[in-house]
Structure 1
Amino acid sequence: MEITHFKENRSLNSSVMGLKEQWNNVIKSEEDQRMYRVLVLDNGVKVLLVSDPKTDKSAAALDVHIGSMSDPWELPGLAHFCEHMLFMGTEKYPSENEYNQYLSEHGGSSNAYTAADHTNYYFDVTPDAFPGALDRFAQFFVTPLFNESSVDREVNAVNSEHEKNIQNDYWRLSQLERTTANPQHDFSKFGTGNKETLDTIPKEEGISVRDSLLQFHEKWYSANIMALSVLGKESLDELETMVVDLFKDVTNKDVQIPEWPEHPFGPEQCQQIGYIVPVKDIRNLNITFPIPDLHPHYRTAPGHYLGHLIGHEGPGSLLSYLKAQGWVNSLVGGQKTGAKGFSFFVVNVDLTEEGIEHVESIVTAVFQYFNMLRKEGPQEWVFEECRDLNAMTFRFKDKERPQTYVCALSEQLHYYQSEEVLCGGYFLYDFKAELINMVLDYLTPDNIRVAVVGKTLEDKVTEVEKWYGTRYKLEPIAEETLEQWKNAGLNDQLQLPPKNEFVPTHFDLLKHEEKASEVPELLSDSSLSRVWHKQDDEFKLPKAVIYVEFFSPLAYLDPYHTNLLQMFVQLFRDALTEYAYAAELAGLTYSLSNSKYGLTLNIKGYSDKQIVLLEKIIDRMTTFKVDPKRFDILKDAYVRALKNFNADQPHQHVVYYTSLLLAEHGWTKEELLQATEDLSVEGMEGFIPRFLTNLHLEFLIHGNVTKEQALDLATLVEEKLTSVSSTKPLLPSQLRREREFQLDDGCSYIYQAENSVHRSSAVETYFQCGMQGTHQNMLLELLCQIFAEPAFDELRTKEQLGYIVWSGVRRANGTQGLRIIIQGDKSPEYLDSRIETFLHKMGGKLEEMSEEDFIKHREALAARRLERPKRLSHLTGRWWQEITANQYNFSRDTIEVGHLETLTKKDVIEFYQNFVRNDADKRHKLSVQVLSTAAGGAGDPNSETKCGIEPADGLAAPPALTRAVVVQDIPSFKQGLPLFPLMQPLIPLPKGSKSKL
């Protein structure tokens, strides 16, 4: 595909006060209707303006080209701490929660992150409130307060964030990589920080953290290394005026962006192998080669070229060879970002039980693949295929959420020329074999680092990493092993991939019928299937999304059948990898997943060749043969995944237990694990045809597809199933969805569990509010909208109960309720008591709320609900939820927001008094509590965090009128409760009739 530039006019040296330069020549896709302009302010701030008159959300992001690698050596985590503290008030808006409260009242949200050499701040908000939000945002970088009163609390917040990550293998491995780098290099620092580095040690050494914070900010937060991206409904000129006015006063200190031309992995850090014991039962082999920073070569992208080949999953690929040996399940290869001046090339694989015993042979195969690439030499046709696929992706790129979009663009402003800020990460211009060979020259045994991760390495490890406690051992690679790799030679099973036959060739949009429905229509309804269809007239891209549900009562019949279906999904995806990978590269992806109701097949991407992929999938499904070797390997992976649940975060555990307590049917992880003992190849081979024998099919086809084509797709699936698998329809009585248990009026239940892995405990306090319906839905959502920001401000910012504090709606199986989740170092009972106190106080706040503030919240909720999905697939997914819930309320947002506008403050107060207030007759409370028994956790007898600190308000939890009942046994608990009825569909469906276009 030829690369086309779409340019606007260009002008430089603007005469606007505060503005130095202006570019209007930003290259954009011909499908992109937004307008763009790049500015450089007098103070050096780079700005990308995005004008989108149709946007229903405005957004902005500012990226400071400084991060944790610039922390002072004596204060690890200071850049991250600075990120936290910037939110704590400014001279113009001194209140700590002014910014978040404003966003909450105007349907917005915000966040930030600190990376190695970047810190990024971003938000979104309703378009009408954008000027006010951008004003508050700008003040962070003009006059932040860094109040002394906020320091201790935000140190605790940083520490809670670190505590959350301590038992996370991703964070542990990432820090271990840094710890084993050159100890004199900034890369080796502990970037997150914790209470020890930001409070305990500095106090012992007489260092004022606040003074150091002010010095860090004064040194690094300079306008000339800041990049701002804003997206709004205003014109470019209006956005320009707004931005120049708000950001022209950011101080320019003429800072030089830090650069590290010396690699953190020098000769002393290479030719080493590390053995690491993980928290979860995972097995990985991570191979790393230090390479130069390749970003200056983005127009040629040699790292992308090599990553495309090494990470390929088709015939002749490195992955296919290693899977055939029974050594790996997956492989990721390619360039990994470091910081300005250096990067890495990695080959990471997920090892099988046998594979961890063949590490040297796997690395040998990696070098054999490199040798094949050297022998074949850089191939221009491979480069051209990558170039054309990237150009196609850019041309037909889906819209992103404004917040996500500006976040990425603000960082890209640092790296690409002004006109290439949108396309720089996509377009490939020049094929330069010498650059590809230059990178290949770094991929040698002399330049290698190897890390082996697995539980079986317990006997090898002798060292403990300081910040996360990771146990490991690092040693030189044996000379004979290095020689073996240097003489790896060639492997005739490793070859370059074939040309991609899935690259689409037709991009025409199909003609629409007049007066088409705005929502999916039912094209066909029979005893075997329903076919829903909507031809896209909104996104106008040559793409489509197909959903097919294969509904079967066998799917969740018992733990054994549940395991069989899960195993089938894994085996199927594994077997189709080689074929489907080419389609994925060409922008056509599929997923197959299992649920309580059966299988869900999803195909999305370019509509041109979807039917080819669909036919292949159904062919393979109806004739599937189990590979005994892969069955044993994937069964092992599945068993380990079930066991690894114990190491999941405590907040994930409380969500799991809440669902288990309330769902009509639910198999525990222990029950599923026990049932894996019965899994066999013979059982699987018998299960697949039995599963396919009796089904109900539900289709949703949305996009660049006509009604006739949609019916053809559905017919293809039906005919293949009926002819090959003799599929027959289920009985109407078998098409029943799950229900939820109904808690008693005035009840209060507690379910308690323990967690021995994490030092944090967690609670989910849930108030069941009945069945879903337009009126109840909006009352609950409006109550949650009003509570959300105060809950975060009170429970997280002020009381410092934990890094994770979340409040909102829980919906399942037609029911709903208010949930508040906290994960922190206090006991769950204490956390629950603080939730009760907060809810008690909010009753008074509701009464005191002005009508003006109530209307703000109502409008904020309306704006959030009416925000349209930015991608075709997101809208399809929303409609698919309506179908699988048997609701078919495809215009739900419009209908419910229409009702929302009729609600009054009195309605919300009555809802609160009926379902949430402590003495409410219809209060249905379930508190799920996971207590940490790990060393240092709230359940550890020696822990100092068992009791909570005295809250700032001095209030104890209000007395409970109903004594809480402790649930001792889940089945017994359920036996005493009735079930809610099933939700009735909004659209009455024909009963067993057959209708076709």
Structure 2
Amino acid sequence: MNLGGIFIVFPLPDQTDLHKKSPDLLVKYLFGRDGLGSLKEYLRTKLGVQLDSASLTDTGCIDFDTFCIALHCDETTKYTVETEDLIISAVFRYLAMIRSQAQHFEQLHNEVRLDRRAHFLPEVDDWSAFLKLKRLPLVNDEFNIATRLHRYEIADVLSARHLLSSYSAEEMNGFLACLTVDQCRVFVSDLDWHTEHVCLFSSPDGRLCCQPDGIAPYNLEKLSENLLALCRAEWPTASCQIDTVFTWPRPRPFVCKNFSLKPRDLTNQPNGPRKIKRQSTLDGSSSSTNLWFRQDDRFQTELAYISVDLLPPVDVVRLALASSLQISILANLFSEELADLKMQAVEADLELSVSRSCNGIQVCCSGHSEPLPALLLAALGRIAELRVPLNYFNQERIGNLRAQKFSLQPCSDLSQIANRLDLAGFLHIQRDYQSLDTQTLDREVEINPSSFIAHHFSNPAHATPLERENWPSRPELYAEILALGNLTAEQVISLVDSITAVLPPLSRRPADTFRLDPFFMRCSERLLPRGSHHFIRLNFATNRSIELTSRTTRLKKGDAALTKSVCGLLLQMPTAISGGLKKQASKYDDFFFRRFWHNCCLWLLKEALTLCTKLPDCTKRDLRWDTVIGCNANCIVIELVSESHPVAIETTIELVIACVGKTVDSITKEQLAGMKSRVQQLATRLFTAPNLNRQHELYWRHITCGDYDFSWDTHSLDTNVKTILDRISKKDLYNYWKKWLKQGSQDRRVLSVHKINRQQFTFNAQDDYYATYQVQGIEVRSLDDFKQNLQDCIPMQTASLKDTFNS
């Protein structure tokens, strides 16, 4: 016998009023799942039958419904009557298994509701383009819009059967009671059933509008008594072998059970997240945990973000390169160990990530607020229990880390060196560990684990007797925590207590050192000497380094790039010094004005570069001008790749800087107005959050780099930036360029990096170029020694306002 399909149809009472519960969707979900223990897997692998669907049918009618299970048979397989009975019995044994698992129905409802809500309104970046598609955001739904308008109230037309806002065990059991063998009709079609036209529309007299001629093409048969008895039997039945095949699906952990919004604090929240003091820190001593919290008062979403930054001692990350490499290896290990937890988070429409932060290891969770604390505590608990062998941090893994960083995150040598020197403005940039092709700038990397790793994440039992004898008693460990979104302060404080209980013991500091100083537990940022010019020589000859250069400068890979060298120029501007602003200072005694004055001037100078008409096109194409916005200092990074020697390239860069100054001095009012308009758009794009995800990114970036100034986080950002831009005249901008960028200025702070192609320039040729080096810069031969001689940057928050504007 050739079977085309089997259709098992159950008549149901009208399901319209059950659209908030929709028990049929729970049964549909179970029939649709695949994998070991499922009906779908059994039918496909054992009987060669495809389970197409199990759902309500859209007949266009009301007052009754039907639930249809449709199975499609393999056209190449010959089926017997016994096989047909086996297919039907498998369906009803699966239904019997479902009825026996009433204790799991509510968990199942939560999982189905989560999936339906996720598909109800898809995440679309450009809604205007989405609406042009002229279709409703209904995904995987049985009813078309005409049926929905016929069945539901206008307010429920779109949300019906998607939000599933309530659960009823009684309705679920009642629906399953209708899915019995005694209340169904089984339709078995032949192989060509779908080729004949079957009209379902009735004429006014009740007859089919296209009545078929002759005898109807079907036969009515009763199911055998043995089959009926098997389909009616309770679960499980020892005599039925199929009952040993089917299993209930594994419950998904971390599924949200409550999507409601938390009570909102009606008082106006300050700019940015606020720092919360816990009761345990009011005794005069301070925990090492900084807790930042902001309730969602802009987007009214049920989502939340909770992020934890585990911070080792300052000397581990900022001073010792070997220890910093070990922290990165440890972050990669944590991420690998939590791979299964990440997959469970994805199943629950959550996100879990573990990665290297600016100064430590960050664990970030996001999604529906109700299950988020459980996910975060599970991840931190795994991290706290992990014990790493001391020999794990070997040279091979450090080499693999450098290769990974090289391939995934190419970074210019100048930015890498600035980050290694802790230059102000670069603290927020994560370190890159590609090898610098020099033997004088880096000391040999030691592989011995730092005391931080050895104490918190290694097993003392595996240590040597000498290592156990010198085992550290209490290395420091700190944490920054940000909670944002659909949360309450009480809930967050309780969560932080749970976090500190799960993690290794955190250090404590005296209360007088626990303040909102941006670097109270970080290494101070460094400033280049005023009026100085230092340079570093790097040599390369390998294709790997050349490829990195070509990627960094956006050049095409190939033979043309093999003959090029690179010069990079870094100019540093401390934000505690106004840089040309001397009038009306008393009216703007706030961080926002002082910081954005610098930011706007730098952005305007970059806009002026686009107006330079005397620069050759090749120079514009190969030139990279970046503005690095930091906390206590900003930087301009200018890099140019060329076939010339880096000394000659630096001369070209100085000509570009001079050209920018001339352009600023000669721009018209219309040009300046256009520049300010583009800068205002840039500031809005950089500091305005269109959604909760972007808001978290802005907050977390500032917190992880120790920049606790959130004065930019205000609804009046556009107005404030416009006020600053309106007060920047052409003369102010020219004075800013003259003070910080002009060659020969006493306030200019410069670090240049020369990356020389050894294949083109021999060492003798290099000596000839540097013999005529006009800048007379001081060469840096050791990064560590040079770093020790740099002065600490004065934080803008502690700078005297009078000194700031009178400097």
Q: Which TM-score applies when normalising by structure 1?
A: 0.45
Tell me if structure 1 keeps the 8 A contact 2:316–2:450. Answer: no
Partner secondary structure for residue 673 of structure 2? helix
Query: In structure 2, what is the equivalent of residue 974 of structure 1?
Result: 787
Equivalent residue number for residue 674 of structure 1 = 445
Instruction: Give me the whole-angstrom Cα distance separating, in 1, the residues matched to 2:694 and 2:261.
Output: 20
Whether 1:685 and 2:445 are equivalent positions in the alignment is no
CA contact (8 A) 1:802 1:822 kept: no
Q: Per-residue deviation at 1:574? A: 1.6
- Provide the residue aligned with 1:393 in structure 2: 118
For 2:299 and 2:573, the matched residues in 1 are separated by 37
| 1:802-822 Cα deviation digits (max 9, x unpaired) | 856432322446221222233
Aligned to 1:710: 492
State the partner residue of 2:658. Answer: 840
- Contact kept? 1:663, 1:739, Cα under 8 Å: no
- Quick one: which of 536, 550, 567 aligns to 1:751? 536
The answer to whether the aligner puts 1:762 opposite 2:566 as a matched pair is yes
Give the aligned residue type for 2:524.
Answer: R
Residue in 2 aligned with 1:882?
A: 702
Closer, same or farther: CA 825–650 of 1 in aligned 2, 3 Å: farther
Separation in structure 1 between the aligned mates of residue 443 and residue 323 of structure 2, nearest angstrom:
10
| 1:928 aligns with one of 735, 753, 756 | 753
Higher strand share: 1
CA distance in 2 between partners of 1:496 and 1:690 (Å)? 50
Matches within 5 A, 1:727-742: 727-731=506-510, 735-742=520-527
Cα deviation 1:194-233 (Å, max 9, x = unaligned): xxxxxxxxxxxxxxxxxxxxxxxxxxxxxxxxxxxxxxxx
How far residue 826 of structure 1 moved from its aligned partner, in angstroms, is 4.8
1:570 aligns with 2:295: no
The amino acid across from 1:717 in the alignment is I
Q: Map Cα deviations across residues 774-811 of structure 1 (whole Å, 9 max, x no partner).
A: 55543443333334355467699943248564323224
What pairs with 1:194-233 in structure 2 (closer than 5 Å)?
none
In 2: Cα distance, 1:697 partner to 1:827 partner: 47
Question: Contact 1:808/1:820 (CA < 8 Å) preserved in 2?
Answer: yes
Offset at 1:771?
3.0
| Alignment match, 1:214 | none
Q: Per-residue CA shift, 1:252-306, capped at 9, x if unaligned?
A: xxxxxxxxxxxxxxxxxxxxxxxxxxxxxxxxxxxxxxxxxxxxxxxxxxxxx99
Corresponding residue of 1:507: 259
CA deviation string 1:485-543 (max 9, x = no partner): xxxxxxxxxx9984433332322222212223153223225311332211102122210
Q: Which runs of 5+ in 2 are unaligned?
A: 1-31, 37-89, 99-107, 144-246, 436-441, 462-470, 515-519, 547-561, 577-590, 766-771, 800-807
2:429 counterpart of 1:658: no
The Cα shift of 1:926 comes to 1.6
Q: Does 1:579 align with 2:579?
A: no
Deviation at 1:419?
3.1
Q: 1:780 to 1:516 in 2, by over 3 A?
A: closer
Q: Structure 2 counterpart of 1:972, which letter?
A: D
One-letter identity of the residue aligned with 1:685: S
Secondary structure of residue in 2 paired with 1:674:
coil
Q: Given the superposition, is the C-alpha separation of residues 978 and 733 from structure 1 closer, same or farther in structure 2, using an over 3 Å criterion?
A: same
1:971 CA displacement: 2.8
Deviation at 1:583, TM superposition (A): 0.7
Superposition deviation, residue 964 in structure 1: 2.6
The verdict on how the C-alpha distance between 1:632 and 1:727 changes in structure 2, with shifts beyond 3 A counting, is closer
Could you tell me which residue of structure 1 aligns to residue 291 of structure 2?
A: 531
User: Alpha carbon RMSD of aligned pairs, Å?
Assistant: 4.8
User: 3-state DSSP class of the match of 2:533?
Assistant: strand
1:643/1:522 Cα in 2 relative to 1: closer, same or farther (>3 Å)? closer
Q: Which residue of 1 aligns with 2:733?
A: 908
State yes or no: 1:698 paired with 2:485.
no
Distance 2:112 2:256 in 1: 14
- Equivalent pair of 1:551/1:697 in contact (CA under 8 Å): yes
Equivalent residues in 2 for 1:356-375, closer than 5 Å: none
1:928 CA drift (Å): 1.7
Task: Give distance in 2, aligned partners of 1:651 and 1:667.
Answer: 7
CA distance in 2, matches of 1:672, 1:576: 34
Conserved 8 A contact 2:114-2:256: no
Give the superposition deviation at 1:824: 5.2
Distance 1:542 1:851, change over 3 A: same
In 2, the alpha carbon distance for the partners of 1:870 and 1:654 equals 33
- What's the offset of the Cα at 1:667? 10
Is 1:540 equivalent to 2:322 in the alignment? no
Letter in 1 for 2:275: L
Residue deviations 1:827-852 (CA, integer Å, cap 9, x gap): 43343322211211221211111223
Task: Provide the aligned length of Structure 1 versus Structure 2.
Answer: 515
Instruction: Indicate the SS of the match to 2:355.
Output: strand
Distance 1:582 1:857, change over 3 A: same
What corresponds to 2:363 in structure 1? 601
Given that 2:401 and 2:433 are in contact with CA atoms closer than 8 Å, whether structure 1 keeps it comes out as no
For residues 652 and 823 of structure 1, the distance between their equivalents in structure 2, rounded to whole angstroms, comes to 12
Q: State the match for 2:399 in structure 1.
A: 639
Residues of 2 paired with 1:864 and 1:685: CA distance?
Answer: 47
Q: Secondary structure at the match of 1:685?
A: coil
| Superposition map of 1:71-110 within 5 A | none
Residue 764 (structure 1) shift = 2.4
- What is the DSSP-based 3-state SS (H/G/I as helix, E as strand, rest coil) of the residue aligned with 1:984? helix
Q: Give the 3-state SS of the residue equivalent to 2:478 in structure 1.
A: strand
Amino acid at match of 1:393: A
Q: Secondary structure of 1:767's partner?
A: strand
Q: 1:865, CA displacement in angstroms?
A: 1.8
Kindly provide the amino acid, as one letter, of the partner of residue 538 in structure 1. Answer: R
Structure 2 match to 1:589: 351
Structure 2: how far apart are the matches of 1:627 and 1:815?
Answer: 41
Q: What is the aligned-residue identity percentage?
A: 17
CA distance in 2: counterparts of 1:822 and 1:427, whole angstroms: 53
* Farther-moved stretch of structure 1 (858-867 vs 554-563): 554-563
Alignment of 1:813-828 (within 5 A): 814-823=632-641, 826-828=644-646
Matched, 1:784 2:602: yes
Gaps of 5+ in 1: 1-304, 311-375, 431-494, 944-958, 987-997
How far off its partner does 1:880 sit? 2.6
The aligned counterpart of 2:501 is 719
1:771 and 2:575 are equivalent in the alignment? yes
Question: Structure 2 CA distance, aligned partners of 1:497 and 1:764?
Answer: 59
Which amino acid letter does the alignment assign opposite residue 552 of structure 1?
P
Please name the residue that 1:892 is paired with.
Answer: 712
Q: Is the 8 A contact 2:566 2:754 kept in 1?
A: yes
Report the equivalent of 1:260. none
Q: Give SS of 2:374's match.
A: helix
**Partner amino acid, structure 2, of 1:507:** F
Task: Tell whether the 8 Å contact from 1:603 to 1:610 is kept in structure 2 after alignment.
Answer: yes
- Looking at structure 2, the residues matched to 394 and 522 of structure 1 have their Cα atoms a distance apart, in angstroms, of 36
The structure whose Rg is larger is: 2
Question: Deviations 1:644-682 (Å, cap 9, x if unpaired)?
Answer: 666788862232123234549999766698334769997
Distance (whole Å) between structure 2 residues aligned to residue 962 and residue 658 of structure 1: 20
Preserved CA contact (<8 Å) 2:262 2:487: yes
Is the 2:689–2:695 contact (alpha carbons within 8 Å) kept by the matching residues of 1?
A: yes
Output aligned runs, 1:800-811, within 5 Å.
800-801=618-619, 805-811=623-629
Kept in 1: contact 2:567–2:640 (CA 8 A): yes
Alpha-carbon distance in 2 for matches of 1:637, 1:388: 44
Shift of 1:706: 1.2
Q: Is the 8 A contact 2:304 2:366 kept in 1?
A: yes
> Alpha carbons of 1:983 and 1:787: their partners in 2 closer, same or farther (altered >3 Å)?
closer
User: In the TM superposition, what whole-angstrom CA distance separates every residue of 1:611-667 from its partner, at most 9, and x where no partner exists?
Assistant: 110221232233223489xx8599845431224666788862232123234549999
Paired AA for residue 729 in structure 1: R
- TM-superposition CA deviations, 1:318-363 (whole Å, max 9, x none): xxxxxxxxxxxxxxxxxxxxxxxxxxxxxxxxxxxxxxxxxxxxxx
